Structure 1
Amino acid sequence: MDNRPVISEVPAGPVPVPGVVAALAGGAAVTPVWRNELGGLTFRLDGETTRYVKWVAAGTPEIDLPGEAERLAWAQRWARVPRVLDHGTDAEGAWLVTAAVPGRSAVDPRWQAEPATASAAIGHGLRLLHDALPVDRCPFDWSVERRLARADERVADGEGPADWAPEHRHLDLAEARARLAEPPAIDRLVVCHGDACVPNTLLHDDGRFAAHVDLGTLGLADRWADLAVATWSLEWDYGPGFDGILYDAYEIAPDAERVAYYRLLYDLA
């Protein structure tokens, strides 16, 4: 059974190309490569060079492409992330254009067939990110307090247990919110990726970590905010049994309390 709490995937059928994406492409070939659970689209533009365009319709506040452009520009001084080429907004939506970086997504069929190798690369890449990005120079926040405010907004909009992952649907709103009100002490404050799911790591063909993508919520938080989601997402994309490989590659022992807390926070916020 698929236990993923959200659905992001390679589009299976025809995808209308937004006008701004067609204009940015010029004579380049346009290929839709990803659709996230909120309807945001990513296209590959193949011309003299390869570029990627992320596009989201106006009125989708959960996806902040100008904010992602700012985060990428900051992070690229220390970490392997895509280089921003352009970004903007119009009445129809917002877009972000980045240069291609070497590597394939960890959900590529190549790595679906070798999940142990991919799990190790994801863990190693996450450790590199956490060690490289300077906490004292980071202007972006991904704290529990900020994310709890977002969780409360979603509850006010009518979301509840039916919208959560299967692991959390036995909780009622009051119990879930009470658990989130008591976060564990911070183990190590780092600059977190913010969405360290399997698709957001790129790997070289030899299985080494290549780069991180989709850093729209990058910010300061306990490293377990990333680790909990990274190991959870291994189950969604590869099946159970690979989390130990990721922990070993990161060089950390599992922490059940922090994993449970940050998975619940991710689900609700």
Structure 2
Amino acid sequence: MALQVQVQELLPKLPGNLEWQMVNDGESGDMVFRRSDGAAFAKLARASRIPALEGEYLRTDWLSGQQIGSAQVQDWSKTDQYACLVTSCVSGVSASALSPADLLKAWPSIAEKFWQLHQLPSESCPFERRLLQVVATAEDVISRNAVNRDFLDDADKDTPAEKLLDPIRPQIPLRIEQETADLVVCHGDACMPNIMVDPKTLVCTGIIDLGRLGLADRYQDLALMTGNTRETWQDERQAEKALQILFKTQNIPIPDLERLAFYLKLDPLTWG
């Protein structure tokens, strides 16, 4: 009952017959609400998650001015115990809701959207998510025994948590050099649920869930998008076509497969 009271206090009052409807609890544990007319979303975070949600608020507010296609901040509030972020909705449906055939048609537009994001002037972005920060996050998750094993490759599911970083640690100095030479504005969680598409025109309308946005190696985004292609298209020809579109759009004639594998190995260790 106390939580319900806090929720009502923190969610903005709505006019007329509009109401906030619970959508789901996100992977982060935040509570997500949708306005009954579909025009806005609200995220409510408990005390331990306030800094993370505040980071998402600041990133969302910054990116909304870059004409990429992202949500606008409508309201932000916090107390010692809870914080609430309200944003406008980005039109369309999640790319994860499209059929493989429709997603392939939308893929050039999606690839172009991330190229536009990566082309933003790096000096204009006040946020960073550099490799050493990501590794530190992974080390913290591992130290708390909080690794979500559902996110791991089958080959890693039985590996002791303290050994999960061992295969990629020797690569870190090289990856830092590559990051320094190819530092761009990255989404940080470039997965299909965070990409919005017009279901009629199959044009990408924007990107959402920006809590991990910041300056990083573009391969952080490209690795996750590569992983998504393998999960989405069982037909190898379709998957290969999607990868060709992605890397051609990024002006990368020959993708660095080891660099992609590095980030695909690291990312699952950062959720926990």
Call closer, same or farther: CA 1:232–1:20 in 2, change over 3 Å.
farther
Residues 240, 190 of structure 1: CA spacing in aligned structure 2 closer, same or farther, 3 A cutoff? farther
Higher helix share: 2
**1:182 aligned to 2:176?**
no
Determine the structure 1 residue equivalent to 2:242.
245
The aligned counterpart of 2:103 is: 115
> Aligned partner of 1:148: which letter?
V
Alignment partner, residue 137 of structure 1: 124
Measured at CA, do residues 112 and 178 of structure 1 come closer, stay the same or move farther in structure 2, by a change above 3 Å?
A: closer
The answer for the alignment partner of 1:81 in structure 2 is 70
Establish whether residue 19 from structure 1 lines up as the match of residue 46 from structure 2: no
For residue 208 of structure 1, what is the aligned residue in structure 2?
203
2:190 is the counterpart of 1:196: yes
- Could you tell me how far 1:193 is from its partner in structure 2? 0.5
RMSD: 2.9
- Could you tell me which amino acid in structure 2 is paired with residue 36 of structure 1? G
Distance 1:96 1:147, change over 3 A: same
Task: Tell me if the contact between 1:105 and 1:200 (Cα under 8 Å) persists in the aligned partners.
Answer: yes
Q: Which residue of 2 aligns with 1:69?
A: 57
Gaps of 5+ in 2: none
Distance 1:201 1:247, change over 3 A: farther
Question: CA 1:107–1:158 in structure 2 vs 1: closer, same or farther (change >3 Å)?
Answer: same
Larger C-alpha radius of gyration, 1 or 2?
2
Deviation of the 1:82 alpha carbon: 0.6
Q: Distance in 2 between matches of 1:166 and 1:28?
A: 43
For 1:57, give the aligned amino acid.
R
TM-score normalized by the length of structure 1: 0.80
**Structure 2 counterpart of 1:232, one-letter code:** G
* Cross-structure match for 1:43: 33
Give the SS at the match of 2:112: helix
Q: What do the CA deviations read for 1:101-149 (whole angstroms, capped 9, x no partner)?
A: 32221123x4466231243333222112111x21012121110111111
1:247, CA displacement in angstroms? 4.3
Q: Which range is displaced more, 184-193 or 256-265?
A: 184-193
Whole-Å separation in 1 of the counterparts to 2:235 and 2:47: 37
Partner of residue 8, structure 1: none
Contact 2:107 2:245 in 1 (8 A): no
Corresponding residue SS for 1:55:
strand
2:148·2:268 contact (CA, 8 Å) conserved in 1? no
Matched positions, count: 250
- Offset, 1:91: 4.6
* Separation of aligned partners in 1, 2:231 and 2:30: 20
Match of 2:144 in 1: 157
1:98 Cα deviation after fit: 0.8
User: Quick one: percent identity of the two aligned structures?
Assistant: 28
1:227 match = 222
Correspondence 1:98 to 2:87: yes
Counterparts of 1:268 and 1:161, CA distance in 2: 8
For 1:225, give the aligned amino acid. Answer: Q
2:39 & 2:147 partners in 1: Cα distance?
Answer: 41
Cα separation, 2, equivalents of 1:57 and 1:238: 37
Instruction: Please say if residues 105 and 201 of structure 1, whose CA atoms lie closer than 8 Å, have aligned partners that are also in contact.
Output: yes
TM-aligned CA deviation for residue 189 of structure 1: 1.4
- The answer for unaligned runs of 5 or more in structure 1 is 1-15
Q: TM-score, normalised by structure 2?
A: 0.79
Where in structure 1 do 4 or more consecutive aligned residues deviate above 6 Å?
none
- Shift, 1:196, TM fit: 0.7
